[in-house]
Structure 1
Amino acid sequence: MDEQIPNRPDDASVSVVVEPKRRPGLSRDRPKIPRYNVLLWNTDDHTFDYVEKMLRELFGHAHEQCVVIAKTVDEDGRAVVLTTTKEHAEFKRDQILAYGKDDSVKNCAGSMTATIEETS
């Protein structure tokens, strides 16, 4: 005995929407994680080559990005080199501060200055 299967629409025309189950008391709106800028400050003791080398090694920036950042630091006194979480920003700031002096500048005393600030 053959059992009759009711007519079904073509599979391509069937769509099923499955709503995820949500646990009671949880909101879809998650609090936003604050973002922080890592700021590089201008000094007269460092060359463009030093800045580019540091940005490439510590941040992986491309040559073009390094040039823009170096020019911004030189012209505006500071530049944002990264925007990230607080802990990561602190780490990257500390890497800049520990990077060392520019050996091509005779009187260079040490690393460039860097700070972090919360974005608005």
Structure 2
Amino acid sequence: MKFRFIFFLFQRAKICEKRNFSTTHFLVRFLASTQTPDLNEITEESTKSTGGPWKVVLWDDNEHTYEYVIEMLVEICMMTVEKAFLHAVQVDKEKRTVVFSGELEHAEHVQERILNYGADPRMSNSKGSMSATLEK
């Protein structure tokens, strides 16, 4: 229950304050410190799939925040904030996460959008988008 309530607050803060760094930063850090999500919860249901064999793999780096990853996955992969948060935790802990699987053409489109998403405005050392590769 607490987990869902915090995600509700995160969504409201994001909508109402339009990327207010301190509020978003606080909520994500609070979630990360109080909840240890079960990474086994990331299944085919939490990875957008159109039934094809191609996967889009998002790779970890030190130039993007949790907030950036969550916002990007919500926008590009149409994930819920909760699912995007689980992927952000997974990419941070395991250094990679599969964010999409499907036919080659669609997977290439998702990968291209990730690669062109741009730098994280919250981090001065962020030079560009995150890395994403295709796997079969």
- Of 92, 106, 115, which aligns to 2:124? 106
Aligned amino acid, residue 99 of structure 2: V
Determine the C-alpha separation between the residues in 2 that align with 1:105 and 1:116. 26
Where is the helix percentage greater, Structure 1 or Structure 2?
2
TM-superposed deviation, 1:35: 1.1
Task: Say whether 1:94 aligns with 2:112.
Answer: yes
Count of matched residue pairs: 86
TM-superposed deviation, 1:76: 0.6
TM-score (norm 1): 0.69
Percent identity over the alignment?
38
- Of 57, 63, 78, which aligns to 1:39? 57
1:7 corresponds in structure 2 to none
Decide whether aligned partners of structure 1 residues 91 and 44 sit closer, same or farther in structure 2, where only a CA change above 3 A counts.
same
Where does structure 1 lack aligned partners over 5 or more consecutive residues?
A: 1-32
- Of 43, 47, 67, which aligns to 1:49? 67
Where does structure 2 lack aligned partners over 5 or more consecutive residues?
A: 1-50
Aligned amino acid, residue 90 of structure 1: E
Structure number with greater Rg is: 1
Task: Say whether 1:60 aligns with 2:82.
Answer: no
- Cα offsets for 1:78-120 (capped at 9, x unmatched): 00001110111011101100000000001111000000101xx
1:115 corresponds in structure 2 to 133
The 8 Å contact of residues 59 and 131 in structure 2, kept in 1 or not, is answered as: yes
Task: Say whether 1:74 aligns with 2:92.
Answer: yes
Determine the C-alpha separation between the residues in 2 that align with 1:34 and 1:97. 21
Runs of 4+ aligned structure 1 residues displaced above 4 Å come to: none
1:85 corresponds in structure 2 to 103
